[in-house]
Chain A
């Protein structure tokens, strides 16, 4: 796949290299450009073979991964950490885990810097993309009721 970072300037590439290298070392970052670590107990959901962003798949059994049974399911890690009061207190995880559905990966941001994307308002600090994407049932119904639906889905 074409890596978008080669369309950027030298300074961007240098800063991105530092960000990518450090995040890869610590979290196994896959450079999706929409970092949701803060909402997922600091476990990167892109390290899941199926890139599950909203809970484990049906094949995760007894905390183990479906694809690599000797590996721990990343969603077991995320949920266990969220249950831990110390982690939960620091990150305010429980609300995010319970109430928020992560949108699917926006592939136009893959291979770019998540930090730069926060500054350019392509994602918010929790990693939620600002490009159009479906929203949960209740939010959608409210938008339809308030007639804001066109405005919401307008990519500009």
Chain B
């Protein structure tokens, strides 16, 4: 019962891992996720269950993650600090573990003013680094934030939950050595893997990677660069304007704009980025952001020869 996740084992053994994102529905109808889950079943190792992305109301990530687990996929539970206090975070983490969820992604969360409930209270009881530290303590010491043991009686041994802890990183937007300091702190806090924001600018990624190298972060943390296949120019422009933390250089925008088939061009561009990154850097895997366009995932993985061999032949 107290075993680690497949993703954790894969990352530790150095196997190439693929993670992807799944956004919970707003209406209380989980069957809407089934087609996306089908697309993810082959090739994707774990699926991030978003915790109200852009602070927009959705079903809770915990409830959705339990369903995804029942459907036979491995979920990565996203936990943001935006809506939960220290107590609520830990209560949800314990509940998730009891339901067989073993991966947790610790995020600070988008600010409430980006979503549909700008009048809601932003909690931010701690930041993502502190959340990572808290989950690491639950894992290695079996003790809650306050130091009290995770046990129901004084005689019982503290329960050590075998979490695989994830975090997020943004390789663009700020000075690389400043970003490396933050990543270094996350590494010290006890993070196992980091998923980055979607990468469109390989130059910025290279500078960031070099800065991390200087700090020696790569020995401590596995990095999964984020890949987002843009479906159209409109979709890409919307994201640049409304989703915080995404940097798209002008030449990428003009490339999509001038393409005769914007969908195909978006996929081709992502495949090029993935191939370059995979050849050049010792990454642990990829993190895919197909948004609602999950049918591209099996295709992209096939094109990159990342599809499991048995399914490739079929």
The contact size tier of chain A is: 35 or more
A52–B105 CA distance with the chains assembled, in angstroms: 18
Who on chain B is nearest to A97 by CB?
B181
- Write out the residue numbers on chain A whose beta carbons fall within 8 Å of the beta carbon of B81: 50
Complex Cα spacing A66 to B173, Å: 11
User: How far is A133 from B147 in the complex, measured between Cα atoms in Å?
Assistant: 7
As a 0/1 sequence over residues 55 to 88 of chain A, the CB contacts with chain B under 8 angstroms (1 = contact) are: 1111111110011000001011001000000000
Within 8 A of B (CB), among A128-156: 132-138, 140-141, 143-144, 149, 152-155
| CB-defined contacts of A152 to chain B, threshold 8 Å | 147
Our pick among A58, A61, A66, A153 for the contact of B147 (Cβ within 8 Å) is A153
Residues of A close to B172: CB separation below 8 A: 61
How far, in Å, is A150 (CB) from chain B's closest CB?
A: 8
Are A140 and B127 touching (Cβ within 8 A)? no
Binds B, one of A9-17, A24-32, A35-43, A98-106: A98-106
Number of inter-chain CB pairs below 8 Å = 134
Task: Report Cα–Cα, A138/B189, bound state, in Å.
Answer: 8
> Which residues of A sit under 8 angstroms from B137, Cβ to Cβ?
134-135, 140
Whether the pair A50, B122 counts as a contact (CB closer than 8 A) is: yes
B111 touches A50 (CB 8 A): yes
Which residues of A sit under 8 angstroms from B173, Cβ to Cβ? 60-62
Report B150-195 residues with CB < 8 Å from chain A CB.
168-170, 172-175, 178, 181-182, 184-185, 188-190
Contact A136 B174 (CB under 8 A): no
Q: Contact partner of B127 among A52, A107, A137, A144, CB < 8 A?
A: A52
Q: Which of A55, A62, A153 contacts B129 (CB 8 A)?
A: A55
Q: Which residues of A contact B245 (CB under 8 A)?
A: 57-61, 66
A140 touches B141 (CB 8 A): yes
How far does the alpha carbon of A101 sit from the alpha carbon of B122 in the complex, in Å?
A: 22
Select the residue from B122, B133, B136, B190 with max chain A CB neighbours within 10 A. B133
- Asked if A53 is at the interface (CB within 8 A of a chain B CB), the reply is yes
Q: A56 is contacted by which of B122, B145, B147, B182 (Cβ under 8 Å)?
A: B182
B261 to chain A, nearest CB (A): 30
**Known: A50-B108, A61-B245. Is A105-B168 also a contact (CB below 8 A)?**
no
A47 sits at the interface (CB 8 A): no
In the complex, A22→B133 CA distance in Å? 34
B residues whose Cβ falls under 8 Å from a Cβ of A:
81, 86, 107-111, 113, 122, 124-130, 133-134, 136-137, 140-141, 143, 145-148, 168-170, 172-175, 178, 181-182, 184-185, 188-190, 197, 244-245, 247
Task: Show 10 A/B contacts (Cβ-Cβ < 8 Å), sorted by A.
Answer: A53-B130, A54-B127, A57-B245, A60-B173, A63-B174, A103-B130, A134-B136, A137-B140, A137-B189, A140-B190
Instruction: Using A54-B127, A152-B147 as known contacts, list a sample of 4 further A-B pairs with CB atoms less than 8 Å apart, ordered by residue number in A.
Output: A57-B245, A60-B174, A60-B245, A140-B137
